[in-house]
Structure 1
C-alpha cells in the first residue's frame, strides 16, 4: 500500500511537471501565462499592450484550429483570487441562429482568428495573482474542445 501511495504521489508530480507554460505577456505592471489541458493543438494568443492600468484598454488575438465544428459553442470562465471566487460565467457564443461572432459556423480543421477588446476597469483587478480557468464546449453533447488555466499577476 505504501509503495502504491508513493507511486501515486510521484506520478502526480510528473504529470504536473509536463504541462507546458506559455508566456503571453511580461512587463513591470503584469504577467500573463497559460497552460492547456490538451497541448496537441495549442492556440496562438497575443495580448497588447502588455501594460496594466485601471483605465487602459487591451486587445487579445486568438488563432486556433478547432477539432469540431463550431455551430454550437459555449464557454465557461471562472476567475479566482487566492481561495476566493471572483467570477463564474458560462456564455453561449454560437447557437446556430443569428450569431454575432464571425467564427460561429467554422468547420473542423479551419483556422479561427478573432480579436477580443476590453477595458481593465470592467474587472477592477487588485494587486496579486489571479487564476482563470476556461473551458469551451461544442456540439449538441457539449464536448470539451478547449480548456486551460490562465495565470494573471497584477504587479501595481
Structure 2
C-alpha cells in the first residue's frame, strides 16, 4: 500500500514538473462577461479573484490577490497592453512604488514575504471595452525583474446603452 501511494505521488510530481504552462484561472463568468487569466511568469502562479463580474463594470470594485514574493519590491512598475487580434492597440505604464512615493500598501515587501491584498481597485475607465481581447499585465521591480505577470482574456458582450 505504501509503495503504491509513493508511486502515485511521484507520478503527480513528475506530471506537474513536466507542465510548461500555468493553468487558466477563471476570475468571473456571467451571462455577458467572462474574465480568465494565466500567469505568464514561468516560475510562479498567483491567486486573483473578484466577487462578481458585474462589479468590474463599476468605477471601483473589490479584488483579492495573493502570492509569495520571489523578488523584493523597493520600486514597482506596471505595464499593461490591450491586445486585439494579436496586435497591441493600447499600452499603459505607471510607477506604483518608488522611494518616498508609494501608491500601494505592499511597497517595500521583501523576497519570500507573503503578499495579500483585499480591497478596492479603480481602473480609471468608464466602461470595459466590448468584444474579445487580451490584457497583458506585467509588474517589474527596480532590477527590471518580473514580480508578477498575467494575460487576462476578456469576453464582454454587455450592452451599456
d(CA) in 2 for partners of 1:41 and 1:19? 8
Aligned residue runs from structure 1 range 113-132, under 5 A: 113-114=116-117, 115-118=119-122, 122-132=125-135
Match of 2:147 among 142, 145, 155: 145
d(CA) in 2 for partners of 1:44 and 1:26? 16
- Count of aligned residue pairs for this structure pair: 140
Confirm or deny: 8 A CA contact 1:96 1:104 kept in the other structure. Answer: no
Aligned residue runs from structure 1 range 42-53, under 5 A: 42-51=45-54
RMSD: 2.7
Unmatched runs of 5 consecutive residues or more in structure 2: 1-18
Pair 1:56–1:74, CA change in 2 (3 A): closer
d(CA) in 2 for partners of 1:32 and 1:105? 30
Q: Aligned with 2:70: secondary structure?
A: coil
d(CA) in 2 for partners of 1:50 and 1:81? 21
TM-score normalised per structure 2: 0.73
